[in-house]
């Protein structure tokens, strides 16, 4: 071989870049804490410089290493050292190393660490243990943090703590006072909770010197965004359907507003709104209107709330209405109590609903509740609960074990002119827990005290009795029902009538009504 050629080969090899062979172990070992100077703990004077040394280089902390109190301290990362310098006129310095602290290859320390130097005893401070959970499934992530705000200053946290791998936060060395505690997953690393996008929870706690408290935090995303209309459907000439992106609250509160404007720029009467409930009808709101024509209308909607109470923003849509008739005839859809119902709550409320919107005044005039035995019509309050439903609350609780009849008389008309035939159904209430009373005059004896006894007639219940002066009396706290009432002079004070003791009784049965005094139950005692 030509020696010049060989020299060229040697020269080219000597100039080549030396590259490590591919493969080999991957560095996934977290950095270790080697030393802390000076060592944390009780000291007579707080240090002005603290050096924390790790086993390898640490990435810039960018504020992740926190110092409390933090006004006079600076944090600097240089190589494998984290230096904290400054001065404090207080009695405590606390440094928190979060679990997100990483080496140059992204390996984070195994768990958060809190380092404390103090010049006063530990029992001058308080401690809180926070158990942090995530709503649903899964544990808290490494981005989770708990900020402790000391009132009255809530602009910046007094201290910040980080959950360990079990979701436990040990917040010790807290100054006594009232705190607002916010635990959240700081996904965007902003060190501020965004409740619309980041799971979190907040609570308040008051701490005394030496107190040891526990808190439970279940982090969840707080929904503060209102619902949005996803679709509008013109059902027929009297009904519009608004479909929303989430479930809508029952439309019983004020604040929601729906306006329909015709092609002549005049408003169309909107009679009512109804939010359909249930999984199969999520987000459906029916708008009941005056008759619409086959042309373009504009609808403006605002204040419709989701289940979290968030109102919708104002929205305006144009739609082409249809002038067809509804596919369903007006009828009674449901009613409570049902026909033949027993042990019905005597105080109500009772309900009736229809397949379409109906006028409240017209419905009230056609709805009656009647006690069958004496044809007494029950007075009460008739109220609309939705666009198609009403409730009735009796003025007084009904009598138990008495048959009552609900009548909805014929004559109700729908918006499009349908009529509803009359319907009737009966039910029997339970006895009320609200007591009534009996009053009258006791005559026929010279005894100063008599015993009055009210015994349930034909039904279960307790015997009511008591000692009263002769003359006028009121026997109170009697559960509603039917009773026999008697009086005797209890000479031997055994609370039982014995032969030879003067006795008298009301001829017949006394009805005691809930909340009412049954008067004129006058009884003459016979020697």
**Which CATH code fits 332-429?**
2.60.40.1220
pLDDT of residue 9: 39
Q: Which residues contact 306 (CB under 8 A, 6 or more apart)?
A: 223, 226, 227, 244, 246, 247, 248, 249, 312
pLDDT digits (tens, 9 = 90+) for 492-516: 888 889 999 999 999 989 988 888 8
* Secondary structure element (H or E) that encloses residue 259, with its range: strand 257-261
Tens of pLDDT, residues 83-114: 988 877 778 888 888 877 888 888 888 777 88
Which CATH number is 122-219 given? Answer: 2.60.40.10
CB-based contact 102:26 (threshold 8 Å): no
Distance between terminal CA atoms of the chain?
Answer: 155
Look at 192-201, 247-256, 258-267 and tell me which has the smallest mean pLDDT: 247-256
In the CATH scheme, what architecture does the domain 33-118 have? Answer: Sandwich (2.60)
Question: What torsion, rounded to 10 degrees, do the Cα atoms 362, 390, 259, 284 define?
Answer: -140
Assess whether pLDDT exceeds 90 at residue 481: no
DSSP code of residue 282: T
Residue pLDDT, tens place only, 397-412 = 898 888 999 999 999 9
pLDDT band of residue 290 (cuts 50, 70, 90) is: very high
Residues paired with residue 468 on neighbouring β-strands, in sequence order: 450
**Mean per-residue pLDDT over the chain, rounded:** 87
pLDDT tier, 26 (very low <50, low <70, confident <90, very high otherwise): confident
Peptide bond into 38 cis (omega under 30): yes
CA pair distance 321, 238, nearest whole angstrom: 9
Band (pLDDT 50/70/90 cuts) for residue 5 is very low
pLDDT computed for residue 16 by the predictor = 44
Q: Does residue 24 surpass a pLDDT of 70?
A: no
CATH of the structural domain 229-320, one choice from 3.40.50.1100, 3.40.30.110, 1.20.1260.10, 2.60.40.1220: 2.60.40.1220
Q: Is there a common fold for 33-118 and 435-524?
A: yes
| Region 18-32 average pLDDT | 66
DSSP state of 366: H
Please state the rounded mean pLDDT for residues 51-71: 79
Token couple for 512: 């005691």
CA pair distance 302, 315, nearest whole angstrom:
6
Distance CA 284, CA 498 (A): 72
Give the model's pLDDT for residue 13. 40
* Calpha distance 301→297 (Å, rounded): 13
What is residue 460's predicted lDDT score, i.e. its pLDDT?
A: 65
DSSP label at residue 526: B
Band of pLDDT at residue 15, cut at 50, 70 and 90: very low
Q: What is the model's pLDDT at position 463?
A: 85
Positions of E strands within 372-416: 376-377, 380-386, 389-394, 404-408, 412-413
Q: How far apart are CA 192 and CA 185, in angstroms?
A: 9
Residue 12 clears pLDDT 70, i.e. is over it? no
Task: Name the residue ranges covered by the structural domains of the chain.
Answer: 33-118, 122-219, 229-320, 332-429, 435-524
For 335-361, what is each residue's pLDDT tens digit? 999 999 999 999 999 999 999 999 999
CATH pick for 435-524 out of 3.40.190.10, 2.60.40.1120, 3.40.50.2000, 2.40.50.840: 2.60.40.1120
Copy the structure tokens of residue 518: 């049954």
């Amino acid at each position: 071989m030509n020696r010049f050629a060989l020299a060229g080969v040697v020269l080219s090899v000597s100039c080549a870049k030396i590259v490590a062979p591919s493969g080999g172990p991957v560095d996934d070992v977290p950095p270790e804490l080697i030393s802390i100077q000076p060592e944390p703990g009780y000291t007579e004077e707080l240090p002005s410089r603290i050096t924390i040394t790790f086993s390898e280089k640490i990435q810039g902390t960018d504020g992740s290493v926190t110092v409390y109190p933090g006004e006079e301290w600076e944090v600097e990362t240089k190589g494998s050292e984290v230096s904290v310098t400054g001065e404090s006129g207080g009695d405590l310095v606390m440094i928190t190393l979060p679990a997100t602290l990483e080496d140059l290859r992204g390996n984070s320390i195994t768990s958060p660490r809190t380092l404390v130097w103090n010049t006063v005893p530990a029992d001058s401070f308080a401690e809180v243990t926070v158990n942090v959970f995530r709503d649903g499934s899964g544990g808290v992530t490494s981005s989770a943090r708990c900020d402790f705000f000391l009132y009255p200053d809530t602009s910046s946290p007094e201290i910040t703590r980080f959950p360990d791998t079990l979701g436990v936060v040990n917040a010790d060395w807290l100054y006594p006072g009232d705190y607002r505690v916010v635990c959240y997953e700081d996904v965007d690393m902003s060190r501020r909770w965004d409740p619309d996008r980041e799971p979190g929870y907040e609570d308040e706690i008051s701490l005394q010197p030496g107190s040891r408290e526990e808190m439970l935090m279940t982090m969840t995303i707080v929904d503060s965004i209102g619902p949005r209309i996803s679709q509008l459907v013109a059902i027929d000439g009297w009904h519009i359907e608004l479909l929303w992106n989430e479930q809508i609250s029952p439309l019983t509160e004020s604040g929601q507003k729906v306006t329909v404007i015709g092609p002549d720029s005049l408003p169309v009467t909107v009679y009512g709104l109804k939010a359909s409930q249930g999984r199969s009808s999520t987000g459906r709101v029916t708008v009941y209107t005056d008759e619409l024509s086959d042309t373009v209308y504009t609808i403006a909607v605002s204040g419709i709330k989701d289940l979290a109470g968030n109102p919708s923003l104002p929205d305006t849509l144009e739609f082409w209405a249809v002038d067809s008739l509804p596919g369903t005839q007006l009828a009674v859809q449901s009613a409570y109590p049902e026909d033949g119902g027993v042990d019905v709550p005597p105080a109500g409320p009772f309900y009736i609903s229809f397949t379409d919107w109906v006028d409240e005044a017209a419905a009230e005039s056609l709805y009656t509740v009647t006690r069958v035995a004496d044809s007494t019509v029950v007075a009460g309050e008739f109220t609309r609960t939705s666009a198609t439903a009403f409730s009735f609350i009796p003025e007084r609780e009904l009598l138990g074990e008495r048959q009552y009849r609900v009548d909805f008389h014929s004559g109700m008309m729908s918006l499009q002119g349908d009529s509803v035939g009359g319907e009737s159904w009966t039910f029997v209430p339970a006895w009320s827990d609200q007591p009534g009373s009996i009053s009258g005059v006791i005559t026929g004896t010279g005894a100063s005290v008599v015993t009055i006894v009210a015994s349930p007639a034909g039904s279960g219940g307790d015997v009511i009795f008591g000692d009263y002066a002769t003359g006028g009396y009121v026997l109170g706290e009697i559960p509603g029902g039917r009773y026999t009432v008697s009086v005797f002079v209890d000479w031997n004070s055994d609370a039982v009538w014995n032969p030879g003791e003067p006795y008298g009784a009301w001829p017949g049965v006394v009805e005691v009504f809930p909340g009412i005094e049954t008067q004129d139950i006058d009884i003459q005692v016979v020697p």
